[in-house]
Amino acid sequence: QVQLQESGPGLVKPSQTLSLTCTVSGGSISSSTHYWSWIRQRPGKGLEWIGYIYFSGSTNYNPSLKSRVTMSVDTSKNHFSLKVTSVTAADTAVYYCARETPLYTNSPGFFDYWGQGTLVTVSS
Amino acid sequence: DIQMTQSPSSLSASVGDRVTITCRAGQHIRNILNWYQHKPGKAPKLLIYSASTLQSGVPSRFSGSGSGTDFTLTISSLQPEDFATYYCQQSYTTPYTFGQGTEVEIK
């Protein structure tokens, strides 16, 4: 059974960098099949896709956050990471990592495994 | 971005009720539409993908339909464990977008 677990600081100061890691167990992040996403939910709001990374390191970011987001992958540790720079209170959210499985090769897919989420609060 | 609009935003229903949630996409997305169930403090759970395909392990009381811009999630007989928030999501194109959610509450 694939499991994903987010980890990182729960409190970040404004203007600093938010850093989170998602550790994958029960499956390999080096799978050529899957993409690995970050999704967030701000208080009282719906879900917002931040972007994904492939095991090769290729990425696709939401244009709304692209200038501040960097994702990376470490296949040796079977985890992938998210950095968001210059955070403000608007970045306060529960952050989820999720695995995307395409319907078939190079096709759209669905998020079939998610982490439980981690709350990150931006406050001084 | 493709806007996804769900209705209603919340509903109250009783155990055994038939519940229908609709999702409208801002442009045609063929059948590239997924549904998730989300309970507080838990990981969202995939229910249906490609508009109508039931994810493995999901009870058959859940079903999905639709294509193009209009989609429906139906729970044929609501069970106590189904009280949650439900989201639709398009993966037709990036950035992927979600509906605002429909909270299903106990009447």
How would you write the pLDDT of chain A (124 residues) with one tens digit per residue?
999 999 999 999 999 999 999 999 999 999 889 999 999 999 999 999 999 999 999 999 999 999 999 999 999 999 999 999 999 999 999 999 999 999 888 888 999 999 999 999 999 9
Nearest CA in chain B to A64: B95
How many pairs of residues across A and B have Cβ atoms under 8 Å apart?
A: 60
Q: Tell me if chain B has a CB within 8 Å of the CB of A72.
A: no
Nearest to B43 among A103, A108, A114 (CB): A114
> Which parts of chain B sit beneath pLDDT 50?
none
Residue entry with tokens 């306060």: A92
The answer to whether B43 contacts A46, with C-beta atoms less than 8 Å apart, is no
The answer to whether A46 contacts B99, with C-beta atoms less than 8 Å apart, is yes
pLDDT (0 to 100) of residue A37: 98
Q: Tell me if chain A has a CB within 8 Å of the CB of B96.
A: yes
pLDDT (0 to 100) of residue A106: 80
pLDDT (0 to 100) of residue A31: 87
Identity of the residue numbered A66: K
pLDDT (0 to 100) of residue A103: 87
At CB < 8 A and 24+ separation, what contacts does A90-93 make?
A90/A42, A90/A122, A91/A12, A91/A18, A91/A120, A91/A122, A92/A42, A92/A43, A92/A120, A92/A121, A92/A122, A92/A123, A93/A40, A93/A41, A93/A42, A93/A43, A93/A48, A93/A119, A93/A120
Q: What percent of chain B has pLDDT over 70?
A: 100
pLDDT (0 to 100) of residue A107: 85
* Average pLDDT taken over every residue of chain B: 97
Nearest to B94 among A60, A98, A112 (CB): A60
